[in-house]
Structure 1
Amino acid sequence: MGTAKSPRVYAAAAVLALDSVLVALVIYRVPYTKIDWDAYMSQVTGFLAGERNYEALEGDTGPLVYPAGFLYIYSGIQYLTAGAVFPAQILFGLLYVINLGLVLWIYTRTDMVPLWGLMLLILSKRIHSIFVLRLFNDCVATTLTHASIVLFMKRRWYLGLTVFSVAVSVKMNVLLYAPPLLLLLLKTLSVGGVITAISCAAAVQLLVGLPFLLENPMAYVSRSFNLGRVFIHFWSVNFKFVPEQYFVSKPFAVTLLAMHLVLLFVFTRYKWLKHEKSGALKLKDKKGKPQLAADHILTVLYTGNFVGIVCARSLHYQFYSWYFYTLPYLLWKTTYPTFLRLILFTVIEVCWNVYPSNAWSSVTLLICHLILLCGLWIAPSEYPYVKQVEKRTKMPLILSAF
């Protein structure tokens, strides 16, 4: 794992302080946008009133389609805010700062992105909006995901996977990280360790969903983990150029799924296992496997998630939070010149701020995604394991909490 050097840590602390002020200004100066908050509160109110049948939990935007972790967390938010928007914005402002702190901690453990590149993490208008002007549950899931990645980088695999499962219980999109995460577990743990880690994650899902599984298991599973859900064409940011009749069709969905699986396979076989003998993972039912390097952990997780983003049938505006924070790392992972990296970053951000999205913005976004994906494929594969014992520098108090 890379050493957290003092200049990077202090630069990260400065970025965090600067963006904390910016978030406060956004909350106080920019009008709140009503989208899903009232629906969230309606669904939570039904849950707190004793309803445990998922088919009966609905809001003004439709039925509840998130796992039960969402209900528990937003019940707590409702208790703290009494359902009022402004206190919730302050709470989500704190969540934003915590999330950014976690991301900056991650970036201080790698030298992939230059110091000035850390500023890119706070330059998204859409991300600020998603957190403090829309109050989406994607923000909670994203923060928990970053917390799990911090634990993975600290080699706390069992605890990390438990936190990861909590993130999944808030929103299913976190599962995009699951295939690359499984590969990392197989690389660093024994077979028994992998089974134990997965069992911890499964136990979380069982405990979180238990009240609803006892009441109506089919309703809970089908609503919370609906892999065949068809999103509304109007809200698609990435495939708006596809005519609606094809966009909602099953062949289109199956094609994208096949592309997703093929891409995961080729990246696994030819990139992430490149340094293993014969390009295959040799499972050993014993302890003592070598420790994974920080850059390899991030490359596999971030690239695997990005592959899922590229192949997602529909990306809504709040879904940008699923991968925005990985973009600087992924861009600098490529061998592209810096000016092209910055162009890609800027154009992707612009596409996510076109409302409503149109054929041109969605085509442009897809092209940028594909250019980045090609760059990741061409980029050299890092050696996956730690070669020597690392020395760690003491971090300032503002970041050590993360």
Structure 2
Amino acid sequence: MAVKNSTSAHGKRSRRKADDSSSLIPKLMKTPKTTMALALLIIDSVLVSFIIAYVPYTKIDWDAYMSQVSGFLGGERDYNFLLGDTGPLVYPAGFLYVYSAIQYVTGGQVFPAQILFGVLYTINLGIVLLIYVKTDVVPWWALSLLCLSKRVHSIFVLRLFNDCFAMTFLHAAMASILFGWWRFGLIIFSAAVSIKMNVLLFAPSLFILMIKAMNISGVISALAGAALVQIVLGLPFLVSYPIEYISRAFNLGRVFIHFWSVNFKFIREPIFVSKEFAITLLIAHLVLLIVFAHHKWCK
């Protein structure tokens, strides 16, 4: 009798597992966004593989990155002397740690680095899709628009820019915050800033949302955790050449090269490099932040 009962129970469990497995596809079909996201992730992964295999690599900053990393690994801590083809290093310390690891894994070779960045692209896309599915702010078909950017594919697997790691960390921070993990999210956000300073552009809106979501002690502790990340990562430079590090890594007055501009290619170069144009952009950015804060974030 005991054997029969055991056999019967085992049979019920097996049938239940089979039923659960057979019901998985219908469940997914009832959530078209999830289905669409998974399909896009697979299709775009294949597309990235073809891009790496058949589209020529665009040589821009990789050699400079590797030169700057080599200087760091060689013991140099003065940012004025961490040099590459494009001049002295202008990114915070997290950049050096990330690309030191990449150099170690890839040997400084482009093709294995492209494969690594292809994996990173897929991870980033997965996080972004998760954010859109979680927030439910667009229809399911609109998720396909995330895979149509020629520039994003190029930045990740054809140019190997540090923007890739910075934005992946930023998106991971956003996803963490969506799940209510504010302190962890702020730590990841700070890590993103340590790779490229332009992530700070997201800080005002993030700060407002943080104030709305947390009490004052929570805000202070989260900000302290983010600050600690910057201190720890920058410590080798802060204790040796602090002024050089801060002035180079967090230079708010840096003038960009018009030749590499994409969004403002239509602007003539004398205007593009002028201080007046930079101030105008800053004012426009601040005005838009105020508008969004008033009409959206603080409602």
Q: Bin the TM-score by the shorter chain.
A: 0.7 to 0.9
What pairs up with 1:325-340 in 2 under 5 angstroms? none
| Residue 106 in structure 1 maps to residue 131 in structure 2 | yes
What pairs up with 1:2-401 in 2 under 5 angstroms? 6-274=31-299
Aligned amino acid, residue 236 of structure 1: S
Q: What do the CA deviations read for 1:336-381 (whole angstroms, capped 9, x no partner)? A: xxxxxxxxxxxxxxxxxxxxxxxxxxxxxxxxxxxxxxxxxxxxxx
Which stretch shows the higher mean deviation, 237-246 or 148-157?
237-246
> In structure 2, how many angstroms separate the alpha carbons of the residues matched to 1:138 and 1:177?
14
Aligned to 1:35, what secondary structure does the other structure show?
A: coil
The offset of 1:131, in angstroms, is 0.5
> In structure 1, how many angstroms separate the alpha carbons of the residues matched to 2:259 and 2:55?
25
The offset of 1:114, in angstroms, is 1.5
Q: What do the CA deviations read for 1:253-281 (whole angstroms, capped 9, x no partner)? A: 2222122222211221233223xxxxxxx
The offset of 1:169, in angstroms, is 0.2
> In structure 2, how many angstroms separate the alpha carbons of the residues matched to 1:13 and 1:204?
33
Q: What do the CA deviations read for 1:281-302 (whole angstroms, capped 9, x no partner)? A: xxxxxxxxxxxxxxxxxxxxxx
> In structure 1, how many angstroms separate the alpha carbons of the residues matched to 2:173 and 2:197?
15
> In structure 2, how many angstroms separate the alpha carbons of the residues matched to 1:118 and 1:269?
28
The offset of 1:252, in angstroms, is 2.2
The offset of 1:233, in angstroms, is 2.0
Aligned to 1:165, what secondary structure does the other structure show?
A: helix
Where structure 1 has 5 or more consecutive residues not aligned to the other structure, the ranges are 275-402
> In structure 2, how many angstroms separate the alpha carbons of the residues matched to 1:238 and 1:10?
33
The offset of 1:18, in angstroms, is 0.7
Aligned amino acid, residue 269 of structure 2: E
Aligned amino acid, residue 197 of structure 1: A
> In structure 1, how many angstroms separate the alpha carbons of the residues matched to 2:264 and 2:227?
33
> In structure 2, how many angstroms separate the alpha carbons of the residues matched to 1:242 and 1:86?
35
> In structure 1, how many angstroms separate the alpha carbons of the residues matched to 2:200 and 2:241?
23
Relative to its length, the structure with more helix (as a share) is 2
Aligned to 1:215, what secondary structure does the other structure show?
A: coil
> In structure 1, how many angstroms separate the alpha carbons of the residues matched to 2:50 and 2:59?
19
CA RMSD after TM alignment: 1.4
> In structure 1, how many angstroms separate the alpha carbons of the residues matched to 2:264 and 2:133?
35
Aligned amino acid, residue 93 of structure 1: G
Aligned to 2:146, what secondary structure does the other structure show?
A: helix
The offset of 1:236, in angstroms, is 2.1
The offset of 1:238, in angstroms, is 2.6
Identity among equivalent positions (%) equals 65
TM (norm. structure 2) is: 0.87
TM (norm. structure 1) is: 0.65
The offset of 1:25, in angstroms, is 0.8
> In structure 2, how many angstroms separate the alpha carbons of the residues matched to 1:220 and 1:178?
21
Higher relative contact order (CA 8 A, sep 6+): 1
Aligned amino acid, residue 142 of structure 2: G
Aligned to 2:69, what secondary structure does the other structure show?
A: helix
> In structure 2, how many angstroms separate the alpha carbons of the residues matched to 1:242 and 1:120?
27
1:243/1:18 Cα in 2 relative to 1: closer, same or farther (>3 Å)?
Answer: closer
Bigger Rg, which one? 2
> In structure 1, how many angstroms separate the alpha carbons of the residues matched to 2:281 and 2:153?
30
Aligned to 2:239, what secondary structure does the other structure show?
A: helix
Residue-pair matches, total: 271
1:240/1:7 Cα in 2 relative to 1: closer, same or farther (>3 Å)?
Answer: closer
Q: Which residue of 1 aligns with 2:17?
A: none
